[in-house]
């Protein structure tokens, strides 16, 4: 036969011995008539198919058990003799000749399945008592011994910080309670959410991470310093005990409720971050409508200008968006962004230019960020945009009733975007005092949010932080926008501009070649004067030469003397005189150490002086 068998004697079949079959297959009886398959043999004790050793439970049932709900007499194992017997535990009928436990004195019956459960519970109680008699030491609470309590209770566990009902260990010397299951946690686990490295169990947040606040990667809730957790130190990956174990057993689906129907149209949305800092969303949204071979009118009248405007579709000079470094940047009067074809300019020679798509902007706009009233397109008003908080003096959409303003770029931002920093689409909202997940600054203007995940990005981090930036510290190559974890960089990050330690879970600009790192705000400061268009010269008291308003696109060496930050492409006042005492300050700014990155700049243009000053510093000096 090849199968190892063992003979036993059993009270239910005294006339013959029983042999144990251990091959784990169903035992099939002899077939009758011409049936292809015989009848499946069931256990005589429980009437279950004989499969995978199920009958071993019936064969090894204790002949006598004690049950705490029937304390007067023990229960004897018998074969059911009567019809209509009902199990007093589960209230199920007990078949004739099937095993059961019974008390003849009380007519109390317990079926075999309930009897097995009672026996196992009794064995577990005995084992628990033996375990409770031994003092327990655990490395998660090394200062004192622990004692296992024999009753389960619902309490707040000091290990997993969850309130569940369980057996527990209690400290003999202090108020430390721990679930019994937490005492046997695996020291390392592998999660599909973090496939590159195993997660290691630690009994508190490592002290080298105390400087910053961390959230659980699974539930996004705050990680407390004293709670146990699973983490990957190299990737700064943290997860609550319960979250990690639940995620291991039940992987989180890629989409959440309320997002799956949006993700079906993911290819229809704009993807951020964009390629460079000179790309504006308004232009990209109109690419399909704009063509260099456009058949539009070559001469038009526009409400924003007194003279006729002429259409330009051929390159003229070097005032385009793709101009070479050092060229003056000419901007559109409507969106205050670099000119690109096709565009209109003044027939009479005024320095007035409009992109063709800015000419075609609707005069009235219904916007989801201001649903109370429609917005009217106005020009030549000084305003502050309620979307990005930038100042402006050209085109804007305005609600006269509420004095609500949106610059034209904010007015035509996409309602939904895809951003590399989050797995779900982000919708445009305007919420007071949201916390941006990229820079951890509070912001009250336009933001992009995933409500299901409570994830927000401020407008500047969402759409105005490009994929690559240049900096003089990294000559000859661009610096990519990087999202943690940064591979092969387990040490801490320090910003090479402000020299402050950087939060290891926030995006940063990081040069893998030069090992330089920058905060988003340090390398790409918000330009609150991006929508201001000013021309001409100014005579000021703190500099003896006239200063001229200009914008230039130069290399990353075009920096501020006071703060050493990039002023490339910004509006500034310029001085270039050969006799100026500041002539050796080429590509620097005299701003009394005022942070001018991304701000309006004032510069002298009388020769080779290269004196530059930002508008905030200029205003400060002229008070």
* Span 565-573, average pLDDT: 73
Residue-level pLDDT at 405: 94
Q: For residue 191, what pLDDT band results from cuts at 50, 70 and 90?
A: confident
Nearest to 551 by CA among 315, 311, 325: 325
Residue-level pLDDT at 55: 65
* Span 54-59, average pLDDT: 66
| Pairing of β 237-240 and β 7-8 | unpaired
Buried b or exposed e, range 78-101, using 16+ CB within 10 angstroms: eebeeeebebbbeeeebeeebbbb
* Span 443-464, average pLDDT: 89
| Per-residue pLDDT reduced to its tens digit, 237-279 | 899 998 998 887 665 454 444 444 455 556 678 888 887 764 5
Residue-level pLDDT at 386: 92
| Per-residue pLDDT reduced to its tens digit, 74-107 | 888 888 766 778 888 888 888 776 788 888 888 8
pLDDT at residue 70 is higher than 90: no
pLDDT at residue 398 is higher than 90: yes
The gap from C-alpha 236 to its chain's centroid, in whole angstroms, comes to 14
Q: How far apart are CA 505 and CA 197, in angstroms?
A: 17
pLDDT at residue 483 is higher than 80: yes
User: Average per-residue pLDDT in the chain?
Assistant: 78
Distances (CA, A) of 600 to 125, 560, 570, 575: 77, 12, 6, 15
* Span 296-312, average pLDDT: 89
Q: How far apart are CA 485 and CA 78, in angstroms?
A: 65
Distance separating the N- and C-terminal Cα atoms of the chain: 106
Contacts 24+ apart (CB under 8 A), 482-491: 482/507, 482/508, 482/509, 482/510, 483/420, 483/421, 483/507, 484/235, 484/236, 484/508, 485/234, 485/235, 485/236, 485/237, 486/510, 490/233, 490/234
Please report, rounded to a whole number, the percentage of residues in the chain having pLDDT higher than 70: 73
**What values do phi and psi take at 122, rounded to 5?**
-65, -45
* Span 276-304, average pLDDT: 68
Residue-level pLDDT at 236: 85
Q: How far apart are CA 223 and CA 210, in angstroms?
A: 11
546: left (phi over 0), alpha (psi -120 to 50) or beta: beta
Pick from 229-238, 278-287, 443-452: least confident: 278-287
Cβ–Cβ under 8 Å, residues 317 and 337:
no
pLDDT at residue 351 is higher than 80: yes
Residue-level pLDDT at 345: 92
Helix (H, G, I), strand (E, B) or coil at 54: helix
pLDDT at residue 555 is higher than 70: no
Q: For residue 591, what pLDDT band results from cuts at 50, 70 and 90?
A: very low
Q: How many CA atoms lie within 13 A of 76 on its CB side?
A: 10
Residue-level pLDDT at 621: 63
pLDDT at residue 599 is higher than 50: no
Residue-level pLDDT at 610: 61
Task: Give me 399's structure tokens.
Answer: 């609600």
Peptide bond into 354 cis (omega under 30): no
Q: How far apart are CA 306 and CA 287, in angstroms?
A: 28
Cβ–Cβ under 8 Å, residues 60 and 83:
no
Q: Specify the higher pLDDT residue, 424 or 128.
A: 424
Please report, rounded to a whole number, the percentage of residues in the chain having pLDDT higher than 90: 18
pLDDT at residue 209 is higher than 70: yes
Q: Which residue has the tokens 């990081």?
A: 510
Cβ–Cβ under 8 Å, residues 602 and 573:
yes
Q: For residue 588, what pLDDT band results from cuts at 50, 70 and 90?
A: very low
Q: How far apart are CA 61 and CA 40, in angstroms?
A: 23
| Per-residue pLDDT reduced to its tens digit, 367-393 | 988 989 999 999 978 999 999 899 999
Residue-level pLDDT at 294: 52
> If you count DSSP H runs as helices and E runs as strands, how many of each does the chain have, helices first?
10, 44
CB contact set of 28 (below 8 Å; sequence gap of 6+): 37, 38, 39, 40, 41
Q: How far apart are CA 546 and CA 551, in angstroms?
A: 16
pLDDT at residue 291 is higher than 50: no
| Per-residue pLDDT reduced to its tens digit, 492-514 | 889 988 889 888 889 999 988 88
pLDDT at residue 583 is higher than 80: no
Cβ–Cβ under 8 Å, residues 617 and 592:
yes
Task: Give me 384's structure tokens.
Answer: 């502050």
Q: How far apart are CA 473 and CA 496, in angstroms?
A: 9
| Per-residue pLDDT reduced to its tens digit, 13-30 | 666 777 766 654 545 554
Residue-level pLDDT at 302: 93
Residue-level pLDDT at 453: 83
Q: For residue 6, what pLDDT band results from cuts at 50, 70 and 90?
A: low
Q: Which residue has the tokens 């951020």?
A: 272
| Per-residue pLDDT reduced to its tens digit, 120-159 | 887 777 777 777 766 788 888 889 988 888 778 888 898 8
pLDDT at residue 182 is higher than 60: yes
């Amino acid at each position: 036969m090849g199968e190892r068998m063992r003979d036993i004697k059993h009270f239910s079949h005294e006339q013959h011995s029983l042999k144990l079959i251990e091959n784990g297959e169903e035992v099939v009886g002899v077939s009758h008539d011409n049936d292809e398959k015989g009848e499946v043999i069931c256990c005589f004790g429980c009437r279950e198919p004989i499969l995978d050793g199920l009958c071993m439970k019936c064969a090894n049932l204790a002949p006598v058990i004690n049950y705490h709900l029937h304390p007067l007499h023990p229960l004897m194992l018998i074969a059911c003799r009567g019809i209509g017997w009902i199990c007093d535990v589960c209230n199920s009928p007990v078949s004739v000749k099937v095993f059961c436990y019974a008390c003849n004195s009380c007519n109390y019956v317990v079926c075999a399945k309930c009897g097995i459960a009672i026996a196992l519970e009794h064995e577990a109680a005995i084992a628990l008592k033996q375990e409770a008699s031994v003092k327990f030491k655990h490395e998660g609470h090394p200062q004192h011994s622990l004692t296992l309590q024999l009753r389960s209770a619902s309490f707040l566990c000091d290990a997993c910080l969850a309130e569940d009902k369980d057996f527990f260990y209690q400290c003999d010397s202090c108020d430390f309670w721990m679930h019994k299951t937490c005492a046997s946690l695996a020291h390392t686990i592998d999660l599909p959410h973090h496939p590159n490295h195993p997660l290691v169990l630690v009994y508190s947040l490592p002290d080298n991470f105390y400087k910053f606040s961390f959230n659980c990667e699974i539930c996004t809730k705050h990680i407390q310093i004293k709670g146990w957790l699973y983490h990957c130190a190299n990737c700064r990956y943290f997860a609550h005990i319960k979250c990690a174990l639940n995620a291991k057993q039940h992987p989180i689906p890629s989409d959440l409720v309320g997002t799956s129907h949006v993700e079906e149209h993911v290819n229809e949305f704009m993807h951020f971050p964009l390629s460079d800092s000179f790309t504006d969303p308004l232009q990209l949204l109109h690419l399909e409508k704009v063509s260099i071979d456009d058949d539009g009118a070559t001469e038009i009248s526009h409400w924003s200008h007194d003279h006729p405007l002429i259409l330009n579709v051929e390159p003229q000079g070097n005032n385009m968006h793709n101009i070479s470094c050092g060229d003056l940047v000419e901007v559109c009067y409507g969106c205050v962004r670099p000119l690109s074809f096709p565009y209109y300019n003044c027939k009479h020679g005024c320095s007035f230019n409009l992109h063709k798509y800015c000419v075609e902007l609707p005069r009235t706009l219904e916007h989801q960020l201001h649903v109370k009233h429609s917005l009217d397109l106005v020009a030549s008003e000084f305003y502050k945009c309620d979307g990005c908080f930038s100042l402006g003096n050209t085109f804007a959409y305005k609600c006269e009733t509420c004095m609500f303003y949106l610059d034209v770029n904010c007015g035509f931002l996409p309602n939904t975007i895809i951003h590399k920093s989050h797995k779900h689409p982000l919708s445009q909202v305007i919420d007071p005092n949201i916390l941006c997940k990229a820079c951890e600054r509070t912001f009250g203007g336009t933001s992009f949010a995933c409500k299901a995940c409570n994830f927000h990005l401020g407008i500047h981090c969402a759409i105005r932080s490009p994929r690559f930036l240049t900096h003089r510290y990294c000559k000859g190559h661009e610096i990519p926008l990087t999202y943690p974890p940064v591979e092969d960089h387990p040490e801490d990050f320090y910003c090479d501009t402000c020299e402050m330690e950087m939060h290891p879970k926030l995006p940063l600009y990081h040069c893998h070649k030069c090992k330089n790192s920058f905060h988003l705000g340090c390398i790409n400061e918000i330009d609150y004067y991006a929508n201001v268009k000013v021309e001409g010269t100014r005579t000021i008291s703190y500099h003896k030469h006239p200063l001229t308003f200009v914008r230039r696109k130069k290399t990353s060496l075009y920096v501020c003397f006071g703060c050493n930050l990039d002023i490339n492409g910004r509006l500034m006042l310029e001085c270039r005189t050969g006799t100026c005492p500041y002539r050796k300050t080429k590509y620097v700014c005299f701003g009394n150490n005022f942070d001018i990155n991304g701000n309006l700049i004032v510069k002298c243009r009388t020769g080779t002086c290269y004196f530059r000053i930002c508008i905030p510093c200029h205003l400060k000096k002229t008070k």
